[in-house]
Amino acid sequence: MPAADDSKRKAARETIDILHEISTLLNTNLDRQSLSYCVSLIENGVNPEALAKLIKELRVQNARYEAERGGEAASVA
Amino acid sequence: MSSTRDERVDNALQQLLERLVPPQQPPETPSHADQRWDEANELARDLLDREREPGVADDVNQAADLINRRLVREGDGRPERASRFGGLYSRLLAQPVLGQKWGILYFLWRVSEGQGVDGHEIDARASVDGAVRVGRGDGEQEDEDGDEHNGEEEEEAVFDEAFARNGLPRVPKVKGSGSPRHSPMHKSSLKLPPALPVPLIALLHSLAEPSLLYRSLSEFVESSEGGLVGQSLRSAIGQELRSYLGLVATLEGQIRRALAQLDDSLPHAGLGKAGVTLKRCVIWTREATLGLRLMSMVVESTKGKKGGELISLIHNLATSHGDAFVYTFAERLLASITRPFYNMLRAWIYDGELEDPYREFFVSENTDYEDSGATSVWENKYLLKDAMIPSIVTPDFAQRVYLIGKSLNFIRYGCHDSAWVESYSKEASRELKYGDTANLGQSIDEAYKTVMARLIWLMETKFALAEHLAALKKYLLLGQGDFIALLMESLASNLDRPANSQYRHTLTAQLEHAIRNSNAQFDSPDVLRRLDARMLELSHGEIGWDVFTLEYRVDSPLDVIVTPWASKQYLKIFNFLWRVKRVEFALATTWRRVQTGARGVLGAVSDKLGADWKSARLGLAGMVHLVDQLQYYILFEVIEASWSGLQKAIQNPASGTVTLDTLISAHTAYLRSITRKGLLGGAGGVDFTAQLHELLKLMLNYRDAVDGLYSFSVAEFTKRQEMSARIETRTRAGRWGLTEADDDDDDAASAGNAKSKGAGRPRKGESFNESVAPSLLPLGGGGADGERNVLEQLRQRLRSLEVDFKARVNVLLGDLAYQPDVDMRFLGVVMNFNNVYSPARKRRPKVESHKPPAA
């Protein structure tokens, strides 16, 4: 089976490659690793819509946090 | 399994969050960072648990489409992005490992939302543009960014939705009352308020198309002109429209539901779920629009067409259109619009009745038809209209159908056998439907065979077709020799008299006599009953021979085969044959008299008239030969040959293929070949009939002249006998046998003899008339000059007639020699087997040939 596994892994990598390319094309700002986690989540039945929402939400929060931090940093400075 | 699944999900989620949530930064306290982490975690679980199922249908193509559109739209001027995506996408599709390609693509699309292609994250609020959004019709987007909508957008969304509701039910009535925005100005135009944004107008335009089409179609459906097929086309289209209305109703239900959901939740939160937007409506109605468009095209092109043409038109659409949608649609239409057609077909092939109130069937009743016997029932009552043959049937099939119905109709009305037709229709009749080609073909074949067999059977048994044809040949084509000979003999003296002294009752009496005394008496009474003798129309100066004719009456339904035209042909042939026969008869009579006379009377005057008689006999023999050959040719080479051809055609071994039409055409061909080969038709532009008539007239004249010569010889003979008797008595009385007075006579006679080898008592010109009986009594008076004159005239007449005869025969032979028909050429050869005549080239008769005629 190692051969089969190998080919399977290869195929998975290729798929991720393609998806990554599409994702950069679409400017999703997802790195390869995150993308593969997302893929595995979706493959396991997670609602892609919700996942997308989550990611965006997190980004918004991050941005807010960054801004706060920036503000803090500024105030500290 | 599910636990491993959950584990995996958890695992992946943790990993993901780790990457997404920024790690603790120096100014931040670890507790703060933990709090952030927990918040994120909670949010993630919350979101993922809340929406287990995707709110939109999963369709990998749809997601790809969305992405593609965005790339095209946002990457303005850089189409290579879209094409690159296309390549990637197709590669992705080829990958076997992923189960949720759609989900991933959709996810990517979602994540990329709100991020310009240029890579800068754009504030969602800033990017939102109501008009553009509505134009895109991305309902989900609104739902997604629901919280961020401002008032203006909200208005747009509601407007969109209201529009969807009012715009969708495209029934004019609903529209008229429901939406003031659509004021129907014209039946094919729609006015949209100009205040709407342009993309919306474009959407509405495409939504308005089906509604306008619907309006014109429903107008068509409600109109009522056109025949049965047209009406069924209307009903079929009406049905299609009803199913369209069903679609509209479903859409409306969707909209209502969407609205109800709207009320429940936050504004716009439910709209995306329900997923009813203008754009979606356009998509949903796309197929219906295609159908409507197709229907209105069909309606346009069927204007002014009816019946078979209409079916052909739609069938053409079904067979010669590559689009499967058009094909199935046309097939569906066909199934319903051909129903009246098949009903007509059924009535026609099983009952022989034409149930076609609108003249749509490819068989139509002939309006010019007048009931004048069976022929017209067969030939003219119904017509086959080529233009009306629908293309679902082949012309051959249509021809068969036409024949079947016509035959049934004929059996019913022409042969009075409607009982059979009814029983046949009861047991054979079956439903005919479109699409059931094999069954249809089979039933047609069966019906065809049954009906034809029945018709032929009727013709042969009930109406004794063969017997009548044989009788026609026997009596009108002189097949029954003894009968004809007897008739001629008994009628000869009668017919020599002028035409106006002929009486029908004497003719019929002689006919009866001929029948009783010949083998004709054994024919069936039905045949003899039909035989009749009558006179043609009189014209001045004709004698009985010219006007006498036999007639064979054929009544319905046999006159389908023996048409009036055929009767005329029979009459023509009979008259010609009768004339030939008469000439033969006359020549034979004279020949007999001459031959018997040669041993007695003529032998006694041979010193004076021997040479004349020799040439007269030669002439006669030539004519007898010619007439014999002619008769032989017509009776045996032409009539018998054609008859056997006719028999073969009628008694075709494959009896299934014999139809009434084949009988008719075989009979027509039979008569045609007789008239053509029998020198009665104007074959090759040569009028043989006239030539033969001239020849026959010449022969009769010649025979008269020979009769005159005979009378003259007899008179001469009597004179000599008287003379010798006188000499006898005088000698006995002791006187000189010859006195001076006698010498005078004798001198004159011998002088005449020396000069012209002919003398006799003068006779008046009457001896040249048609009378056959020789005038035995010399009329006395006159002188030797008169006697010589008479003889001279006789000789001249005989000579000129003979020359004329030969010239004409030469012309005839010349014409015959260049006939394409072998039999006719052969006739020429037989007539001139020893090269007595020198056939003339066409139209250039040679003056004469001096060879002696030979028998």
Q: What is the pLDDT of residue B143?
A: 34
Of B142-146, B275-279, B603-607, the range with the lowest mean pLDDT is B142-146
Q: What is the pLDDT of residue B783?
A: 56
pLDDT tens readout for residues B416-449: 888 888 888 888 777 777 777 778 888 888 888 8
Kindly list the residues from chain A whose CB atom is less than 8 angstroms away from the CB atom of residue B17: 58
Assess B79–A contact: CB distance below 8 Å, yes or no.
Answer: no
* Partner-chain contact A54 B84, CB within 8 Å: no
- Do A36 and A59 belong to one domain? no
- Do A15 and A30 belong to one domain? yes
Is the pLDDT score of B624 beyond 60? yes
Q: What is the pLDDT of residue B374?
A: 53
Handedness of CA B309, B315, B320, B325 (dihedral sign): positive
Kindly list the residues from chain A whose CB atom is less than 8 angstroms away from the CB atom of residue B48: 46-47, 50-51, 54
pLDDT tens readout for residues B569-608: 888 888 888 889 999 999 999 999 888 888 888 878 878 8
Distance, in Å, from the CA atom of B19 to the CA atom of B319, rounded to the nearest integer, reads 62
* Partner-chain contact B36 A19, CB within 8 Å: no
Q: What is the pLDDT of residue B800?
A: 92
DSSP designation for B543: B
- Helix (H) or strand (E) segment spanning residue B510: helix B504-516
Q: What is the mean pLDDT of each run of 10 residues along chain A (77 residues)?
A: 67 82 79 82 80 82 76 50
Distance, in Å, from the CA atom of B582 to the CA atom of B489, rounded to the nearest integer, reads 10
- Helix (H) or strand (E) segment spanning residue B623: helix B606-632
- Do A3 and A24 belong to one domain? yes
Distance, in Å, from the CA atom of B673 to the CA atom of B667, rounded to the nearest integer, reads 10
* Partner-chain contact B22 A62, CB within 8 Å: yes
**Residue of B111, B115, B142 best to disrupt the A interface, most CBs of A under 10 A:** B111
Å between A3 CA and nearest CA of chain B: 16
In terms of CA atoms, which chain A residue is nearest residue B103?
Answer: A48
pLDDT tens readout for residues B109-134: 777 766 544 333 333 333 333 333 33
Is the pLDDT score of B191 beyond 80? no
Please give the interface size between A and B, counted as residue pairs whose CB atoms are below 8 Å apart. Answer: 167
* Partner-chain contact B100 A48, CB within 8 Å: yes
DSSP of B138-169, one letter per residue?
Answer: -HHHHHHTGGG--HHHHHHHHHHHHHHHHHS-
Distance, in Å, from the CA atom of B130 to the CA atom of B621, rounded to the nearest integer, reads 121
Is the pLDDT score of B508 beyond 50? yes
Assess A53–B contact: CB distance below 8 Å, yes or no.
Answer: yes
Highest mean pLDDT among B48-57, B115-124, B591-600, B745-754: B591-600
Is the pLDDT score of B778 beyond 70? no
Domain ranges of chain B: 1-52, 56-117, 152-304, 315-462
- State chain B's mean pLDDT as an integer: 74
Indicate the residue of B36, B95, B99 with minimum beta-carbon distance to A11.
Answer: B95
- Over residues B812-840, the mean pLDDT reads 83
pLDDT tens readout for residues B284-309: 888 888 888 888 888 888 887 777 88
Percentage of chain A exceeding pLDDT 90: 0
pLDDT tens readout for residues B343-379: 888 888 888 788 877 778 888 777 666 655 555 667 7
* Partner-chain contact B108 A49, CB within 8 Å: no
Is the pLDDT score of B156 beyond 50? no
Buried b (16+ CB within 10 A) or exposed e, B342-373: bbbbbbbbbbbebebeeebbbbbeeeeeeeeb
- Do A12 and A39 belong to one domain? yes
* Partner-chain contact B111 A26, CB within 8 Å: yes
In terms of CA atoms, which chain A residue is nearest residue B98?
Answer: A43
- Do A35 and A63 belong to one domain? no
- Do A40 and A69 belong to one domain? no
- Do A41 and A52 belong to one domain? no
The values of phi and psi at residue B320, to 5°, are -110, 30
- Do A32 and A61 belong to one domain? no
Distance, in Å, from the CA atom of B533 to the CA atom of B483, rounded to the nearest integer, reads 13
- Do A7 and A31 belong to one domain? yes
In terms of CA atoms, which chain B residue is nearest residue A13?
Answer: B97
* Partner-chain contact B19 A31, CB within 8 Å: yes
Query: Which has the closest alpha carbon to B207: B248, B246, B174, B177?
Result: B248
Q: What is the pLDDT of residue B367?
A: 67
Kindly list the residues from chain A whose CB atom is less than 8 angstroms away from the CB atom of residue B89: 22
Q: Structural domain of residue A34, as residue ranges?
A: 1-46
Assess A74–B contact: CB distance below 8 Å, yes or no.
Answer: no
How many Cα atoms within 13 Å fall on the side-chain side of residue B279?
15
- Do A40 and A53 belong to one domain? no
Question: Which residues, numbered 2 to 41 in chain A, qualify as contacts with chain B under a Cβ-Cβ cut-off of 8 Å?
Answer: 8, 11-12, 14-15, 18-19, 21-23, 25-31, 33-34, 37-41
Number of domains in chain A: 2
Is the pLDDT score of B663 beyond 70? yes
- Do A65 and A30 belong to one domain? no
